[in-house]
Amino acid sequence: MILIVAGNPKEYPDDLNLTRLIELEKVETPIYVTVALNDSFVESGGFESTALKDGDRVEFLYFMGGGR
């Protein structure tokens, strides 16, 4: 199936949940990453139970603390 991850459409294996996608994408410090799926937030406790389907858009939001 095709998923659009961080704006990039890419081919992924079927039967993928968010936990697996986070592993595949090698997301840094995943417990502190916010996930948005098709414009709604997914609670971190719900990654395992969130199955992905063709055409889903997934965004990872990272903490960026710098500035001063």
Give me the residues that bind other proteins (CB under 8 A), please: 6-7, 29, 32, 34, 36, 39-41, 59, 61-68
Q: Which amino acid is at 1?
A: M
- Pick 15 or 40: Cβ nearer other proteins: 40
Give the angle subtended at the CA of 41 by the CAs of 49 and 54, to the nearest 5°. 60
Q: Give the DSSP per-residue string, 4-31.
A: EETTEEEE--SS-BHHHHHHHTT-SSGG
In the bound complex, what is the minimum distance in angstroms from residue 29's beta carbon to other proteins? 6
- Pick 13 or 66: Cβ nearer other proteins: 66
- Pick 2 or 41: Cβ nearer other proteins: 41
